[in-house]
Amino acid sequence: MDTDALLNLHLKNFGAGDIDALVAEYADDAVFLTAQGVLRGPAEIRPLIAAVVGEFSLPGVTLELLSRQVAGDHAYLCWRAETPRNSYALGTDTITFRDGRIVMQTAAIAATPKT
């Protein structure tokens, strides 16, 4: 599968809320870099995926994809969203695929909690 097809699968799995399928996309040595730290491997990445899927599966969520770019093994998403818990003015994800698996992902968000 090429990068565009792998990204489509990732977005499909996210939209379906399929945590197991999402986690299975990550290579054993994958790294996920966030402002809070680095997660290594599927076991460390799973709780983050589960939390994000949990929030974005709530009723009333809106998600707008602002930009989607693919170059070689790399993909970039820029988005904004509203959930019952948070207002996301901007979010970005950068994903690197190798041999059909995610080997690196970064995520950055600008979120405001709703009270």
Position 26 pLDDT exceeds 90: yes
Query: What are the beta bridge partners of residue 104?
Result: 31, 96
Domain count, the chain: 1
- The chain-wide mean pLDDT, for the chain, equals 97
CATH code of 15's domain: 3.10.450.50
Enclosing domain of residue 46: 3-113
What pLDDT, on the 0 to 100 scale, is given for residue 98? 97
What pLDDT, on the 0 to 100 scale, is given for residue 1? 87
Reported pTM = 0.93
CA distances from 54 to 40, 73, 98 (A): 21, 28, 27
Position 45 pLDDT exceeds 90: yes
